[in-house]
Amino acid sequence: MRELTALKMCLDVEAAQLAEIDENGDINDDQEAIRAQFAQSEPWKGYADVKNAMDAIKARYCSTRERLARDEQAAQEQVLSAIKARAEFALLERDAQDEILGIATDAYRDIDADAVEPRLVSLSRLPVQLREAGDRAQRRFDQILNERDKAKRVRPVRSGLRNRTFTSEAELETAIGELREKCRDAFAAGDTVRFEE
């Protein structure tokens, strides 16, 4: 009976979570083998015939969690690098640095490859949540700097260039001109510009 429970959990948890994020393509045959086992009049017989199918699903599930953990780690490193790369970061007091980094890392979750919670769909969203937290941290960074020196402020400017395509040099020059126009007032006031997406 324990074996049947393990098979059912494999279908209902691991395989279902893989399907939620469209990562189940290579385990369809394994799922079908387990479903066929449950469709038999005596499903407890022949467990050994489908154990490999269960093991394949579990291996795919663990490797997906490991990949999502690597994606999350890479996103966090990118966010933290962008913050620490700002020249003013090293000049901030330790409390301010900790506050900014705390905002940036708030969305980080320690992912256990063998666990079934949080669900894969939640884990797949973590890199986006980390980038959003990084944006909030950058805005707080700007606020801290602006509170310290009201004469020389940091102004965020949306570049509008992310994922934008150009088919000619003229189009590129137009976009650069628009960006230059967005920055002109800030520079005229003696402010610093920080580009946002």
Model pTM greater than 0.75? yes
| Amino acid found at 128 | V
Provide the number of structural domains found in the chain.
2
User: What is the pLDDT at residue 47?
Assistant: 77
Q: Are 87 and 184 in the same domain?
A: no
Q: Are 81 and 21 in the same domain?
A: yes
What does the pLDDT look like over 18-54, one tens digit per residue? 999 998 888 989 999 999 888 888 887 877 889 999 9
Q: Are 137 and 171 in the same domain?
A: no
Q: Which domain holds residue 21?
A: 2-148
Q: Are 114 and 28 in the same domain?
A: yes
Q: Are 51 and 130 in the same domain?
A: yes
Low-confidence stretches of the chain (pLDDT beneath 50): none
